[in-house]
Amino acid sequence: MMERDFGSALRTALAGLPEGAVESLEVSGSVATLRVNLGSLRAVLESLKSFPEAACDFPANLTAYDTGEEMFLVYRLASIERGWQALVLCRVDRSEPAAPSVTDLWPGFNWFEREVYDMFGVRFEGHPDLRRILLPDDWEGFPFRKDYVSRPSGSPLRGPQPIDRGAQG
């Protein structure tokens, strides 16, 4: 029962979008996983937020991950009244990562977007104040990218030291 009306609500919510917008949609329990292409990311998120049936108005989580070959953005939105969540995955070009900002839809994502920019270098267009949030402002490079080379630090006491025991696993 739960899955059927959540899945159907989502499909009707996303009906108005162009054909290739949502690559895949599966629902398991109260969590729907959508894979969306970058072009229509903003449209999908807007429809998820505004559609009365699937009113995902709670910004639960926004992050990104880099597998070395491709980089993904992960949005997790929840609808508190209906008790379901939508996990939106969206592939981003690794060399020039950029994405539409959703801070105007959910102010809660303001700092999450700044952190993703700080760590992955994803430029969010339309973000009111995109700067580093956790690292010192003069830090070069984006540490969470797989191709990030740890900066050789001057004194031995700073910067990463190799882990001696075989933790690399």
- The residue with tokens 């690559």 is 23
46 is an interface residue for other proteins by CB under 8 A: no
Asked whether the beta carbons of 127 and 114 are under 8 A apart, the reply is yes
Minimum distance of other proteins from residue 15's CB (angstroms): 26
Q: Which stretch binds other proteins (CB under 8 A): 3-11, 36-44, 54-62, 93-101?
A: 54-62
C-alpha separations of 104 from 28, 84, 108, 126, 127 in Å? 29, 22, 9, 9, 8
- Where do the DSSP E strands lie in 117-169? 123-125
1 is an interface residue for other proteins by CB under 8 A: no
Residue 107's contacts (CB-CB under 8 Å, 6 or more residues apart) are none
67 is an interface residue for other proteins by CB under 8 A: yes
Minimum distance of other proteins from residue 123's CB (angstroms): 19
Beta bridge partners of 78: 58, 85
- DSSP β-ladder status, 71-79 and 84-92: antiparallel
Which of positions 87-126 make contact with other proteins (CB under 8 A)? 87, 89, 106-112, 115, 119
In the list 63, 91, 100, 123, the residue contacting other proteins (rule: CB under 8 A) is 63
Residues in contact with other proteins by CB under 8 A are: 30, 33, 57-61, 63, 65-67, 74, 76, 80, 83, 87, 89, 106-112, 115, 119, 132-136, 143-144, 150-151, 155-163, 167-169
